[in-house]
Every structure is written in C-alpha cells, then in structure tokens.
Amino acid sequence: MKKITDILLMLALAILALATVSCEENEPEITGIEPSFKIRFINQDSISKLNDSISIINADLQEIADSLVVIDTLESRDENADYTANKEALNTYKKELNQDKSDLTKIINLINSGKVHLTSLEGQNGVGTLIYEDSLTLYRFPLNTNADFSRFIMTIDGNEYSLDTYYTRETVEEERYIVIKAYNFEIRDYSRFDSLKISQRDSINYSSNEATVTAYF
C-alpha cells in the first residue's frame, strides 16, 4: 500500500512540475524594444537657393530661344545671310546651360530624398548619444521608455538643432511579448528648424512607430 501511495505522490509531483513549466513557457517575455519614430531632414534653404539658380538659367535659355527665332527670321529675309557661327555659339551655350540645370535638379532631388549626414544625436532623459558615420535618407530615433518626454539634440554640418517629443506610454502584450508603446505622439517644441511636418499612419492612437517626421532647415 505504501508503494502505491509513493507512486501516486511521485506522479502528482511530476504533473505539478510539468504544469509549472508549461505556465512559465506561456508567460509573455519583455522584448526590450524601445518605441521610436522615423525622421528625415530636408535642407530647404539650399533648395531655395538652387531653385533661384535654375530660374536664372531658365531666363538665359529663354533669351537664347528668342535670339534663335530672330536669326531664323533674318535668314528667311536674306538668303545670302550667314548666321551659322552665331547659331552654333548659342546652341553650345544652350547645351551648357541645360547641363547645369540638370546637375542642379539632381542635387535638389537628392536633398528632397532627405539624405543628410547627421553627425551625432544626443538623446536626453535616458536616451544615450548616437554617432552616425554614413548619410541616411531616414533616421530612427528611440524614445525614452521611463518618461513621457524625450528631448533630442542633433548636429548637422556643425550646427545644433533640437526637438522635444511628448507621448503617452502604454505596456501591451503582442504575440506573447510585452512591448512598450508610445501613443499620442507629438512634437511641441523645436529649435533652429524652419518647420516640422508629421505624417501619421495611425489616426486613432497616434503611435510613434507609425509616425514619420520631416524636419526642414
């Protein structure tokens, strides 16, 4: 009888141990993934200057076009008139201007892509300093998970810029993982940027992970 009791006790302990392991396996894990937002930088001042240069080129191209029309008119009135050298000179200059315009347009497109070298990013309120070696078109800024506020100080071309982000933290479980979400994401203050625009795909909770900030400077 004692042997049967011992066997039953051992079976009960084994079942209890398996149940404990099963519960531990089903417990959600903390991912350690920080909420973040994406940001791109557009050098609007440079674009404005480049557009001014293109406007000057367009004016010169129009003058060339007008001059060629005048030459065609003169040639039609006088069969013996020879303006070949004039036309060649104007067309050569026209080709050079179009090449300059094309080069400037490529630079504008590159700037509009947001490809900027962010020298460093200093995150206050618990976010460390990040150093970037390469230029990127889109950066990811991690938010402080211990507060509802994060301040970032960025260095671009030796100039410092800053922005203050505000959000509401919420701990949620997703597929057996515990993650911290940052909702109601917004930027209330910034310095040295000309303007900021936030594109938000989450129109309900305004999650930071679904936000892309465009900073114009």
Give the whole-number percent of the chain exceeding pLDDT 70.
83
Measured distance CA(61)–CA(156) in Å, rounded:
36
Residues whose CB falls within 8 Å of the CB of residue 83, separated by 6 or more in sequence, listed in order: 71, 74, 75
Write the pLDDT tens digit of every residue in 21-38. 444 445 555 555 789 999
Write the pLDDT tens digit of every residue in 189-217. 999 999 999 999 888 999 999 999 999 99
CA distances from 141 to 35, 49, 126, 128 (A): 9, 29, 13, 11
HEC string for 160-180: EEEEEEEEEEEEEEECCEEEE
pLDDT of residue 20: 46
Write the pLDDT tens digit of every residue in 73-111. 998 888 888 899 999 999 999 999 999 999 999 999 999
Better pLDDT: 131 or 67? 67
Q: What is the largest CA-CA distance in the chain?
A: 132
How is residue 189 written in tokens? 């203050």
pLDDT of residue 209: 92
Domain ranges of the chain: 31-44+114-216, 47-112
pLDDT of residue 146: 87
How is residue 151 written in tokens? 């301040």
Measured distance CA(170)–CA(164) in Å, rounded:
19
Per-residue pLDDT, averaged over 53-61, amounts to 97
